[in-house]
Amino acid sequence: MTKYEEVQLVYRNKTKASDRPNVKSPDAAYKILLENWNMDQINLLEECKILLLDNRLKLMSVVHLSKGGLSSIVVDLRIVFSIALKRRSNRIILAHNHPSGSLRPSKEDIEITQEGYCSLMADYEDELSNEI
């Protein structure tokens, strides 16, 4: 008999879609993120959060992904995507703070964004080519 691990996805929606806020602008996302940030630590530690949205841009969840030090944070895209897939979100907003107060993305910020985009596009292109 072959042994294997069974995987079961369970999802219990506790909030009606009509009760969830719309995130149709950067300002709306910023407001939600700010409400979920520890203001005593925002200028001390770098943190990463994810907003998970449905196909109508309604907020499904806010995920506190990771907490780093003064100038860096670890973001594992496998974790980001697994959370988004498990939650069945159609869109994600990945955000983090710079304790220095800088509003400019670092080289690492740009790289992780491009890496995430490229991995998603590669998967999409593979799926599309398999359909043709």
**For 1-18, how does the pLDDT look when each residue is reduced to its tens digit (9 = 90+)?**
788 777 665 667 788 888
CATH superfamily entry for domain 19-100? Cytidine Deaminase, domain 2 (3.40.140.10)
The two three-digit tokens of residue 82, written as one number:
């697994």
- Higher per-residue confidence, 107 vs 8: 107
Q: What is the structure's pLDDT at 60?
A: 93
Given pLDDT bands bounded at 50, 70 and 90, which one contains residue 69?
Answer: confident
- Predicted local distance difference test score (pLDDT) of residue 131: 43
**Is residue 129 scored above 50 in pLDDT?**
no
Mind listing the pLDDT tens digit for each residue in 11-52?
Answer: 677 888 889 999 999 999 999 999 999 889 888 888 989 999
